[in-house]
Structure 1
Amino acid sequence: MKLVVGLGNPGSQYVRTRHNVGWLVVDEVARRWGAVWRREKDAEVAEVRVGAAPGAKVLLIKPQTFMNTSGKAVGPLYAFYKLDGDALLVVQDDLDSPFGLLKFRLGGRHGGQNGVRDIIRVLGTPDFPRLKVGISRPPAGWDPADWVLSKWRTEEAATLAELVRLGADAVEVWAQRGLAEGQGRFNGTDLRPKPAPEPQATPRPEGSDAAASAPADAAYADARDPH
């Protein structure tokens, strides 16, 4: 058994917020494998078999305790199944990664993500894998707390859908093949628009006389600058 925790907040007002991107990823995994969500104490859970039969047994978890107390939902399930850190994956939003980036990380500090902070507190260790989904730092003038609870913009919808799809792919690879395979395949994910290539300079025709063009160049300069 492996546990995959998608971090988020319960309530319809939070469904399309940046802080709930972890829920979007585990919802997509559940949808692919026809899983049904059920309430179990402080979490919604869905059991799936990922991959070819018999498949990797995975329990998807959406804490219902609000972000700051996510450990209250995760801790009892972690203890019940007698797991170690390698069998737990937390899918989280990440302010420090640009929107469009996806990466696995093992352990480390919580980085200000309060759901991760509380899971570390309850489990007594930071040594578990995380799948970080970039949501970018807030624009100038935004408080980070307001930014993570803001809703996705219309122009972000296509990138978000692709990021969630790849996040679900990453969860499945981790469940079947482990962290190293997941890192190798997904830590290069970058869906940000690529800059346009620099225009190529037009080469001067062979045999042209640079001096011959000087008067025309001077006239062009005079036309642009009346002073």
Structure 2
Amino acid sequence: MDYKGLLVGLGNPGREYEATRHNMGFAFVSMLIGLAEREDCVDRMNGAKFSCELFRVRLPRLGGHWLAAKPLTFMNSSGCCIQPLLAWHKLTTNHLLVAHDELDIPAGALRFKRGGGNAGHNGLKSITESLGTPNFCRLRMGIGHPPYRGNVLGWVLGHPDTADAAILDAMLPKALDVLFIFAGKGEEAATRTARAASTQTSDTCTG
């Protein structure tokens, strides 16, 4: 089967990591799968050989069939899942979209880009090393910096309080819109949509 793309949401498996900031990628894929289930547009696939949860999604707004995956390798080894997954399905990095949390973006804001550095994100580092290139698209979901310097690990692996959780939850439907725009109109349109959604978030928070 020909797939239009592979969406990978980054996170860590296990109940202790559920709903942590570092698992925003998992939350994003889960929202997509939930939507597809309600519309009877998803099939669960066997992802064991790739160490991931794997789904085939065929929502109309995606313009065709996509694969969606949640690696079960733990964040620091995400590339060990993605490289063989691409190879097996005869996909290239041009088909890959990685959704992940981003410290350097305010909580609730979105950015979309192709390539670039890893900004200390070990999941992106693993993917770049496994693929031999940073040239893949990223949907960057802002979690903001911790209020106290030096507490980055506790921040990303921590559970947000009620107010922060509401901000992050509200970001997910906007991230879905970015995915659909990317699938239908390409990278430039997705970049504009992500920034526009972030502007709306900023206005809401300061208005």
The SS at the match of 1:189 is helix
Alpha-carbon shift at residue 57 of structure 1 (Å): 1.1
Structure 1: how far apart are the matches of 2:175 and 2:60? Answer: 16
The SS at the match of 1:140 is coil
Residue of structure 2 equivalent to 1:188: 196
Q: 2:129 aligns with which of 121, 125, 128?
A: 121
TM-score by length of 2: 0.88
Gaps in structure 1 of 5+ consecutive residues: 197-227
Q: State the identity as a percent.
A: 36
Say if 2:91 is the partner of 1:83.
yes
- Matched to 1:195, the amino acid is T
Structure 2: how far apart are the matches of 1:84 and 1:77? Answer: 10
Alignment of 1:136-215 (within 5 A): 136-190=144-198, 191-192=201-202, 193-195=204-206
Structure 2: how far apart are the matches of 1:37 and 1:143? Answer: 37
Alignment of 1:206-225 (within 5 A): none
Alpha-carbon shift at residue 172 of structure 1 (Å): 2.1
Larger relative helix fraction: 2
Gaps in structure 2 of 5+ consecutive residues: none
Question: Using a 3 Å threshold, how does the CA distance of structure 1 residues 141 and 106 change in structure 2: closer, same or farther?
Answer: closer
Alpha-carbon shift at residue 100 of structure 1 (Å): 1.5
Question: Using a 3 Å threshold, how does the CA distance of structure 1 residues 38 and 153 change in structure 2: closer, same or farther?
Answer: farther
RMSD after superposition: 1.7
Kept in 1, the 8 Å contact 2:12–2:23? The answer is: yes
The SS at the match of 2:58 is strand
Kept in 1, the 8 Å contact 2:77–2:126? The answer is: yes
Structure 2: how far apart are the matches of 1:125 and 1:131? Answer: 17
Residue of structure 2 equivalent to 1:202: none
Question: Using a 3 Å threshold, how does the CA distance of structure 1 residues 100 and 86 change in structure 2: closer, same or farther?
Answer: same
Structure 1: how far apart are the matches of 2:103 and 2:170? Answer: 18
The SS at the match of 2:206 is coil
The SS at the match of 1:127 is coil
Residue of structure 2 equivalent to 1:6: 9
Structure 2: how far apart are the matches of 1:179 and 1:48? Answer: 20
Q: For residues 96-140 of structure 1, what are the alpha-carbon distances to aligned partners after superposition, in whole Å with 9 as ceiling and x for unaligned?
A: 001021010110111111101100000000000000000011111
Paired residues in the alignment total 195
